[in-house]
Amino acid sequence: MNVLHSLLRGKERKNNLILMLLALSIFIAMTILSPRAFLRPANLKGMAVQFPEFGILSFGMMIAMISGGIDLSLVGIANLSSIVAAVIMLQMGDSVLSIVLGILGALAIGAACGVFNGFLIGYLKIPAMLVTLCGLQLYSGLGLAITKGPAITGLPERYGEIANGSLIAGIPNPVFVFLAVAIAVGYLMRSTVYGSHVSFMGTNEVAAKYSGINNLKVTIYTYLISGLMGSIGGILISSHYNSAKSDYGKSYTLLTLLIVVLGGTDPSGGKGNILGVSLAVIVLQMISSAFNILRINSFVKTFVWGLILIAIMLISKLIDRKERR
Amino acid sequence: MRSNIAKLATTNEAIVAYTIVALSMAIGIINPAFREFSTVITLSRAMLITLIFAVLQMMVIVSGGIDVSFPAIACFSSYATLRLMLSFDIDSVFFFYAVAGLMGVCFGLGNAFLIAKMELPALIATLGVSSVANGATLAFLGTREYSNIPEGVDQLSRSFLFSFTNSGGITFQMTSLILIPLILLVLAYLLLHHTMLGRGIYAIGGDRFAARIAGFNVIRIQFFIYMVAGFLASVGGVTFTILMRQGSPQNLMGSEMMVIAAVVVGGTRITGGHGTVFGTLLGVLLIAIVQNNLIMVGVPTHFQSFVVGLIIVLGTGITSIRAKRVANSSKV
Amino acid sequence: MSTSFLRMEGICKNFGGVKALRNVDFEVNTGEIHCLAGENGCGKSTLIKIVSGAHQATSGTIFINGLEEKKLTPIASIKRGIQVIYQDFAIFPNLTVAENIAMNSALMQGKKRMNWKAARTLAVEAMSKIGAHMDPDILVERLSVSNRQMVAICRAIMNDAKLLILDEPTTALTHHEVSMLYDILRKLKAKGMAIVIVNHKLDEIYEIADRLTILRNGENVATGPLKEFTRSRFVHCMTGREIVDNLYIPEPSSEVILEVKSLGREGAFKDVSFTLEKGDVLGITGLLGSGRGEIGDALFGIHPSEEGSIFLNGKPINIRSIQDATTHRIGYVPEDRLTQGLFLTRSIMDNTVAASIEKYFVKGRLDEAKMDEVTWEWIRRIGCVASDSKAPIRTLSGGNAQKMVIAKWMNINPSILILNGPTVGVDIGSKSDIHKILHEFAHAGVGVIIISDDLSELYYNCNKLVVMEGGLSSGVIMTNTLREEELASLLHGNSLEN
């Protein structure tokens, strides 16, 4: 009960409640509108495989935002990590060891890119937006340099099991990966010293420094974790499609931004919660699937994402202004 | 006097200029064809559209904001207007620019409302608008590319100012469209440097609160900035359509990075308040030289993205470090 | 013949249910320097904002030059010749001196074009009027604080200012710069300008004011020529109570907490030595730039020392970073509370535990209940007026917020507590509360170091003093061997007789 209480406090509580209701209403609406298409096991499975991909990326964006910055390079890190994993696995053939090494390679890349980002932001004090925008270009470019253009295919079958298989009760594996990461990140942000420090730093960097918080360390850890989120996402994506390419998921940058803002993360830093972001992920996945089932043009999706983002920010700003009065 | 020269010689713009010169010499040695005047013509063509966008972005960034919606606005307005013209058999360059420009201004109005009036963070607001514009273009206007540009308009793409034949016997023509960015650069310089409105843009970027109490109408100036940015985005889109002789709903998407990078490399600080038109020109030039000559230096195509990324990281890093150095230096 | 320039009668200002100003009369004459004093929250900034047009009075009348002003907007206020110089000057660091100075008048005249030559001439003219000499083409971001203030003043007078209001103008100035500022103000006064200075520093008020108005709780409690105010009357009007100042004399102790030997850093200070025994409150003072703040920076690891040694409880320690300092349990209450000391949007509880989060990481998670408990303990112990520990700390007054900043550091159970300007912008009531608390902590064994330029604060609350000048220290002076005036003279460069 205590856990639940600490998961829902104050304004976060209201926001999360709204999201839960939203998720429920969309689910119900879709069940009524196209029960056969929506409730089809294939569709539910499809949703369950897909949302962890951008969902985990959103966690990275969330952490970066809480720290007072932003991570626009996540998609680039995801692709680069998956490419490196693919190269390793193709070199080493089809074995458990090869896959493990591939995954480790991907994670190492995510960590390295993250540390690079964190260093530029925390030590050289270059604004996060600029660093990660450039980073996106750099990491994607590196990925392109390795693949020389076309996607890398023919990955080990067992690797595909990660995203496409299900170890427990027919529930796709990515769901468990998502849950595990969500719980880990949630614990990190809510219940550790580091989590408090990130939040303080995002609220007021100067006061954090003067309170004895090591801003440089916190920043580097933050983007390191974000980078890892990127590579985990990349692993899921490449496992799902059995290929690694340097420009997958281009639309995910906007999507992750939308998700974290919808999930109650404050763009100016200091505030955010994992439950909110997770709920936002699910809401957006359902809207996305709904669009597919209702045969709505996928470009309309882009249009709608933009509208929702603007709407959320406006509503949140209006509420803020009313409260200040 | 001497200290003035010393000051000039170490500005950001100067460093970019040195880099351009050094780079040009290096490339010129590896590839003699580079040293011919034809390079100026090809580079101008390559830089054309980016320059238009860079001018608008520079203005926005100097005022303390940012605009990543310009490619989407450019695509929407130029594509919509083209389709309009094709449907109603209108063949007028003026119509093309005017109507597309109007659409751009409307988008700019939207941006201005969100950023100036509702005080939303500029990055996220313009990202949202970008998505809306881009989605609307592809969803409601279609995905087809049009190559049948109206004849009168198409003529503009073929008109040229002068031509040059290089030592290899190839003739290069300097397109008349180059006048557009050139005129824009001059106008931007005059505006930013010689009008109170322009100084107001710098003032807002320097200290928004101080600008307000100094008597600047901050909100009005911001509306101006974003609406002009929207207009210029459309101008860029139309010019691109004419130059490429093709109407595309999404070819310009993804160019945000390059434009912002060019602007920052040219000395404009991403935090606002600092930047020059000349520096922006240099920044665009540098990136254009790099992008267009990597193949000649032997960098394979698939490597180019990475190399450009590296250079951008370096360039923006240097600008930021310099800015920090000034902030921490001893005060007079 | 001095006439009334500004006359405010019966001014009331309500913000929702809060009565910020009640029936305030305020009058400023031409050719006079009028000081406006009062505790934090007394209404002086609200009054100033009404004069500048930023706020509208709820009721009351304003007369400028005898004519009633029905509605005073910012533009109208500027047109009448009222210029306010805020604490952060509100000038543009990314523009040149000339632009900053000439900008306002160009805007007022509705100019569309930017005339660089005219701006430069205007700037030079303005600077000569007040005796400043700066390169008009230099970017303001390269100027020192004092020069920036000059730019702000030049800009103000270029607008044909008739009433100049300066909000706490001396906070960041050295004593010499304050003298220069006062010379300029006297020059302007001689030309007939009406000047209002919002200031809380007694000594400075006595140096410059012709007339004084004191606000308390939104009411004008006293107005009159300076000579009608003795020091005790001044304090009584400000706080409504009698504040008795006694010298702080701790019980003698031989337990040495901190020993600093020949501490130095190039360009900042050299050969500084002192010891802190249990019960000591050490005061470090000196003009800005003399090294007083820099010693605190060195002890807290912000700008580490380069030579010399530090001994904490007898053991030598090395402080190379803020993390080193906090590991040795050294706390630091910074000068600029708003940006350096507080997380304004966070709760009182968050602010209180910000430096000691590690203590509450128990059994794998953060114990929020304990954090709240500890916050309430501190609120009670330190005398902070707060009703909800989860309310954002920006809802607290300056004095109460400062108390919680101190609580934040006391929560790490510090061996040393360094405070830089601990009572700046704090009301006199809280000020004396804070001094009392610091004495209690010193008595309990915390080495307390106060860095300040407030002479009476240092004189009455520190038993040991170090006076810095040009990076060199006077050595440790026992306060009880000095008279208060001697301390002032020592600060201005005259060495002690004995």
Chain segment C277-303, per-residue pLDDT in tens: 998 999 999 877 788 889 999 999 999
C103, B207: Cβ pair inside 8 Å? no
| Band of pLDDT at residue A2, cut at 50, 70 and 90 | very low
Alpha helices by DSSP H, C321-419: 322-327, 348-353, 368-382, 398-410
CB atoms within 10 A of CB C380: 10
Instruction: Pick A102 or C489 by higher pLDDT.
Output: A102
Residues C359 and C485 placed together within one structural domain of the fold: yes
Interface of C with B in 55-84 (CB under 8 A): 74-75, 78
What pLDDT sits at residue C353? Answer: 94
Interface of C with A in 241-260 (CB under 8 A): none
The answer, for C354 touching chain A at a CB cutoff of 8 Å, is yes
When pLDDT is averaged across residues C253-264 and rounded to a whole number, the result is 91
What pLDDT sits at residue A25? Answer: 86
Q: Which of A12-21, B225-234, C158-167, C177-186 has the highest mean predicted lDDT (pLDDT)?
A: B225-234
State the pairing for strand pair C256-265/C219-225.
unpaired
The answer, for C325 touching chain A at a CB cutoff of 8 Å, is yes
Residues 6+ apart with CB under 8 A from C377: none
Say if C249 falls within a structural domain.
no
What pLDDT sits at residue C241? Answer: 64
Contact, A270 vs A31, CB < 8 A?
A: no
Report how far residue C65's alpha carbon sits from residue C55's, in angstroms, rounded to the nearest whole number.
20
Taking contacts as CB-CB distances below 8 angstroms, the residues of chain A near C361 are 191-193
Q: What angle do CA C245, C247, C249 make, to 5 degrees?
A: 145
Taking CA atoms, B326 is separated from B38, B128, B288, C93, C473, in Å, by 40, 35, 29, 11, 31
The answer, for B152 touching chain C at a CB cutoff of 8 Å, is no
To the nearest whole percent, how much of chain B has pLDDT over 70?
A: 98
Q: What angle do CA B249, B250, B253 make, to 5 degrees?
A: 150
A124, B321: Cβ pair inside 8 Å? yes
**E strands along chain A, which residues?**
152-153, 243-244
Mean pLDDT of chain A: 89
A42-324 under CATH 1.20.120, yes or no: no
Report how far residue C408's alpha carbon sits from residue C392's, in angstroms, rounded to the nearest whole number.
15
pLDDT value at C438 more than 50: yes
The answer, for A149 touching chain B at a CB cutoff of 8 Å, is yes
Report how far residue B41's alpha carbon sits from residue B46's, in angstroms, rounded to the nearest whole number.
9
State the pairing for strand pair C307-312/C315-317.
antiparallel
Taking contacts as CB-CB distances below 8 angstroms, the residues of chain A near C334 are 210
**Amino acid type, C301:** G
Which secondary structure element, helix H or strand E, spans residue A284, and what is its range?
Answer: helix A274-293
Residues C298 and C369 placed together within one structural domain of the fold: yes
pLDDT value at A62 more than 90: yes
What pLDDT sits at residue B276? Answer: 93
Q: What distance in Å separates residue B11's CA from the closest CA in chain C?
A: 13
CATH number of the structural domain B2-328: 1.10.3470
Least confident of A131-135, A141-145, B137-141, B322-326: B322-326
C299, two tokens = 């002890």
Predicted confidence (pLDDT) per residue in A207-226, tens digit: 999 999 999 999 999 999 99
Say if C73 falls within a structural domain.
yes
Report how far residue C352's alpha carbon sits from residue C372's, in angstroms, rounded to the nearest whole number.
9
Q: Which of A81-85, B29-33, C57-61, C101-105 has the highest mean predicted lDDT (pLDDT)?
A: A81-85
Contact, C460 vs C245, CB < 8 A?
A: yes
Give residue C56's domain range: 4-239
Q: What distance in Å separates residue B93's CA from the closest CA in chain A?
A: 29
Instruction: Pick B285 or B305 by higher pLDDT.
Output: B285
The answer, for B259 touching chain A at a CB cutoff of 8 Å, is no
Q: Which of B20-34, C266-280, C423-437 has the highest mean predicted lDDT (pLDDT)?
A: C266-280
Chain A residue with CA closest to C324: the answer is: A212
How many Cβ contacts (< 8 angstroms) between chains A and C?
Answer: 60
Question: Which of B196, B326, B331 lies at the smallest CB-CB distance from C114?
Answer: B196
Report how far residue B108's alpha carbon sits from residue B131's, in angstroms, rounded to the nearest whole number.
14
The answer, for A45 touching chain C at a CB cutoff of 8 Å, is no
What pLDDT sits at residue B186? Answer: 96
The answer, for A13 touching chain C at a CB cutoff of 8 Å, is no
The DSSP line for B21-87 is: HHHHHHHHHH-GGGGSTHHHHHHHHHHHHHHHHHHHHHHHHHTT-----HHHHHHHHHHHHHHHHHH
Report how far residue A295's alpha carbon sits from residue C447's, in angstroms, rounded to the nearest whole number.
73
On whether ipTM exceeds 0.90, the answer is: no
Taking contacts as CB-CB distances below 8 angstroms, the residues of chain B near C150 are none
Which chains have 3+ CB pairs within 8 A of A?
A: B, C
Domain spans in chain B, listed from the N-terminal domain onward: 2-328
pLDDT value at A205 more than 50: yes
Taking contacts as CB-CB distances below 8 angstroms, the residues of chain A near C408 are 211
What pLDDT sits at residue A136? Answer: 93
Residues C232 and C263 placed together within one structural domain of the fold: no
Q: Coil, helix or strand for C63?
A: strand
B132, A142: Cβ pair inside 8 Å? no
Say if C375 falls within a structural domain.
yes
When pLDDT is averaged across residues B145-171 and rounded to a whole number, the result is 83
Report how far residue A200's alpha carbon sits from residue C352's, in angstroms, rounded to the nearest whole number.
12
Q: Coil, helix or strand for A266?
A: coil
| Band of pLDDT at residue A274, cut at 50, 70 and 90 | very high
The answer, for C346 touching chain A at a CB cutoff of 8 Å, is yes
Report how far residue A68's alpha carbon sits from residue A200's, in angstroms, rounded to the nearest whole number.
9
Backbone angles phi, psi at A72, to 5 degrees: -90, 0
Chain A residue with CA closest to C323: the answer is: A212
Report how far residue B271's alpha carbon sits from residue A318's, in angstroms, rounded to the nearest whole number.
26
Interface of C with B in 143-172 (CB under 8 A): 143-145, 147
C-alpha of C384 from chain center: 20
Instruction: Pick B4 or B118 by higher pLDDT.
Output: B118
DSSP state of A273: -
pLDDT value at C236 more than 90: no
A3, two tokens = 């856990």
State the pairing for strand pair B160-165/B171-175.
antiparallel
State the pairing for strand pair C59-64/C4-15.
antiparallel
CB atoms within 10 A of CB C209: 21
CA atoms within 13 A on the CB side of B203: 29
Q: What distance in Å separates residue C102's CA from the closest CA in chain A?
A: 32
Instruction: Pick B188 or C2 by higher pLDDT.
Output: B188
What pLDDT sits at residue C17? Answer: 64
Taking contacts as CB-CB distances below 8 angstroms, the residues of chain C near A211 are 354-355, 408
What pLDDT sits at residue A8? Answer: 46
Residues C219 and C152 placed together within one structural domain of the fold: yes
- By CB atoms closer than 10 A (0-12, 13-18, 19+), residue A168 is exposed
C91, B197: Cβ pair inside 8 Å? no
What pLDDT sits at residue C466? Answer: 92
A106, two tokens = 């991907």
Q: Which of A37-46, B112-121, C76-85, C206-215 has the highest mean predicted lDDT (pLDDT)?
A: B112-121
Question: Which of C78, C86, C107 lies at the smallest CB-CB distance from B196?
Answer: C107
Interface of B with A in 149-208 (CB under 8 A): none
A306, B133: Cβ pair inside 8 Å? yes
B320, two tokens = 């930021």
Predicted confidence (pLDDT) per residue in C13-64, tens digit: 887 667 778 889 999 999 999 999 887 667 888 888 888 887 888 889 999 9
To the nearest whole percent, how much of chain A has pLDDT over 90?
A: 58
Residues C291 and C202 placed together within one structural domain of the fold: no
Instruction: Pick C20 or B188 by higher pLDDT.
Output: B188
Contact, C416 vs C446, CB < 8 A?
A: yes
Taking contacts as CB-CB distances below 8 angstroms, the residues of chain B near A145 are 302-303, 305-306
Contact, B70 vs B133, CB < 8 A?
A: no
pLDDT value at C462 more than 80: yes
pLDDT value at A5 more than 70: no
Residues 6+ apart with CB under 8 A from C211: C29, C32, C33, C34, C35, C223, C224, C225, C226
Q: Quick one: angle between helices B12-30 and B301-328, nearest 10?
A: 150
C94, B205: Cβ pair inside 8 Å? yes
Mean pLDDT of chain C: 86
To the nearest whole percent, how much of chain A has pLDDT over 70?
A: 96
pLDDT value at C193 more than 70: yes
- For residue C350, the domain's CATH number is 3.40.50.300
A140, B129: Cβ pair inside 8 Å? no
B120, A314: Cβ pair inside 8 Å? yes
B216, C108: Cβ pair inside 8 Å? no
Which secondary structure element, helix H or strand E, spans residue C246, and what is its range?
Answer: none
Question: Which of A136, A141, A301 lies at the smallest CB-CB distance from B308?
Answer: A141
Report how far residue B20's alpha carbon sits from residue B287's, in angstroms, rounded to the nearest whole number.
9
What pLDDT sits at residue C201? Answer: 74
C-alpha of A15 from chain center: 19
A299, B128: Cβ pair inside 8 Å? no
What pLDDT sits at residue B135? Answer: 92
C449, two tokens = 């170091």
pTM over 0.90: no
The answer, for A140 touching chain B at a CB cutoff of 8 Å, is yes
Mean pLDDT of chain B: 88
Q: What distance in Å separates residue B225's CA from the closest CA in chain C?
A: 16
Predicted confidence (pLDDT) per residue in C375-418, tens digit: 999 999 998 888 889 888 988 888 899 999 999 999 999 999 99
What pLDDT sits at residue B317? Answer: 83
What pLDDT sits at residue C108? Answer: 75
What pLDDT sits at residue A265? Answer: 92
pLDDT value at C498 more than 50: no
B215, C75: Cβ pair inside 8 Å? yes
A303, B136: Cβ pair inside 8 Å? yes
Residues in chain A: 325
The answer, for C113 touching chain B at a CB cutoff of 8 Å, is yes
Taking contacts as CB-CB distances below 8 angstroms, the residues of chain A near C345 are 203, 270
pLDDT value at C200 more than 80: no
CA atoms within 13 A on the CB side of A44: 11
Report how far residue C215's alpha carbon sits from residue C19's, in angstroms, rounded to the nearest whole number.
13
Q: Coil, helix or strand for C475?
A: strand
What pLDDT sits at residue B2? Answer: 58
CB atoms within 10 A of CB C56: 11
Instruction: Pick C421 or C172 by higher pLDDT.
Output: C421
Chain position carrying tokens 């409504």: C240
> Whose CA is closest to C314, among C398, C255, C253?
C255
Taking contacts as CB-CB distances below 8 angstroms, the residues of chain B near A135 are 313
pLDDT value at B324 more than 60: yes
A204, C342: Cβ pair inside 8 Å? yes
Alpha helices by DSSP H, C80-225: 97-108, 116-130, 145-158, 175-190, 202-208
Taking CA atoms, B297 is separated from B40, B294, B304, in Å, by 18, 5, 11
Interface of A with C in 245-274 (CB under 8 A): 270
| Band of pLDDT at residue A6, cut at 50, 70 and 90 | very low
pLDDT value at A70 more than 90: yes
C-alpha of A160 from chain center: 20
Residues C37 and C164 placed together within one structural domain of the fold: yes
What pLDDT sits at residue C496? Answer: 45
